[in-house]
Amino acid sequence: MSNSSMVTTFLLLGFSDTWEQNVLYFILLLVVYLAVLTANFLIISAVSLDKRLHTPMYFFLVNLSVVDLGSISVTIPNAMINYLLNTWEISYSGCVAQVYFLLFFLTSDLFLLTGMAYDRYVAICDPLHYEAVMDRKVCIKMAASAWVVGLLYSGLHTGCTFAITFCSNVINQFFCEIPQLLKVSCDNLYLIEVGVVVFSAFMVFSCFGFITVSYVHIFKSVLRIPTTQGRNKAFSTCVPHLIVVSLFISTGCFAYMKSNSQSPSDLDLVVAVLYSVIPPLMHPIIYSMRNRDIKTALWKMFQCGIFSGRKARFLPSI
Q: Per residue in 27-42, pLDDT tens?
A: 988 999 999 999 899 8
Report yes or no on 307 lying in a domain.
no
| pLDDT top residue among 10 and 258 | 10
Mean pLDDT confidence for 172-183: 84
Tell me how far apart the alpha carbons of residues 86 and 135 are, in angstroms, rounded to a whole number. Answer: 51
37 within some domain: yes
Q: Is residue 298 part of a domain?
A: no
The verdict on residue 93 lying in a domain is: yes
All residues at 6 or more sequence positions from 78 whose CB lies less than 8 Å from its CB, including other chains:
90, 94, 98, 175
Q: In 3D, which of 190, 195, 160 has the Cα closest to residue 178?
A: 160
Per-residue pLDDT at 311: 44
Q: Among the listed ranges 60-64, 147-151, 169-173, 184-188, which one has the minimum average pLDDT value?
A: 184-188
Q: Determine, yes or no, domain membership for 302.
A: no
Q: For the chain, how far is it from start to end, CA to CA, in angstroms?
A: 66
Query: Please, are residues 246 and 223 in contact by the beta-carbon 8 Å criterion?
Result: no
Q: Is 181 inside any structural domain?
A: yes
**Closest residue by Cα to residue 153 from 207, 203, 115:** 203
**Contact yes or no for 163/3 (Cβ under 8 A):** no
Q: Which structural domain range is residue 198 located in?
A: 4-288
Rounded distance between C-alpha atoms, residue 16 and residue 86, angstroms: 10
pLDDT for 191: 61
**Whole-number Å distance between alpha carbons of 239 and 242:** 5
Residue 276 lies in a domain: yes
Is residue 312 pLDDT above 50, yes or no? Answer: no
Residue 129's CATH number: 1.20.1070.10
In this prediction, residues 102-115 reach a mean pLDDT of 92
Confidence of residue 3 (pLDDT cuts 50, 70, 90): very low
pLDDT at 316: 41
Mean pLDDT of the chain: 80
Q: What is the pTM of this model?
A: 0.84
pLDDT over 60 at 247, yes or no? yes
How many structural domains comprise the chain?
1
**Residue 177 placed within a domain:** yes
